[in-house]
């Protein structure tokens, strides 16, 4: 999957314009990289389409521990979207990540997140793809 395909899927699944889908994807990947350990962020980055890799490259080895509300608030601010729209976008990005990553890669990312993230990322069955 290339950058354009990834972003088009986020736009389709979230109902956003291509500009909004790009902003929410970049914001979600940046925030996710802050929330997971640095090694895992680098692994995630390496599995993404080339144009999105820099957004998922974590700046710290130690993950910041914050809940889903803070995650969505950060995405909302970075993407300049209201919180409800940002949450829909975050969900779409996680759904596309599920399709873009190998199953083990996706599982390694979502297992670092607390259960409350299940509202945006399917954590119960990482090897079963969600329906669009």
Q: What's the pTM value of the predicted model, to 2 decimals?
A: 0.91
pLDDT of residue 57: 84
Q: What is the arithmetic mean of pLDDT over 101-110?
A: 89
User: Is 71:13 a contact under the CB 8 Å cutoff?
Assistant: no
At 31, is the pLDDT very low, low, confident or very high (cuts 50, 70, 90)? very high
Tens digits of per-residue pLDDT, 66-92? 999 999 999 999 999 999 999 999 999
Give the burial class of 53: count Cβ atoms within 10 A of its Cβ; 0-12 exposed, 13-18 middle, 19 or more buried. Answer: middle
Q: What is the arithmetic mean of pLDDT over 21-25?
A: 98
């Amino acid at each position: 999957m290339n950058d354009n395909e990834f972003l088009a899927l986020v736009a389709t699944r979230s109902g956003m314009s291509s500009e909004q889908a790009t902003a929410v994807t970049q914001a979600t990947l940046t925030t996710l990289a802050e929330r997971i350990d640095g090694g895992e962020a680098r692994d995630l980055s390496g599995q993404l389409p080339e144009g999105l890799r820099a957004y998922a490259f974590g700046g710290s080895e130690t993950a910041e521990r914050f809940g889903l509300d803070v995650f969505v608030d950060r995405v909302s601010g970075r993407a300049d979207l209201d919180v409800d729209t940002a949450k829909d976008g975050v969900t779409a990005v996680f759904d596309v990540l599920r399709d873009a990553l190998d199953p083990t890669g996706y599982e390694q990312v979502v297992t670092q997140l607390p259960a409350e993230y299940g509202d945006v990322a399917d954590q119960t069955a990482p090897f079963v793809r969600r329906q669009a």
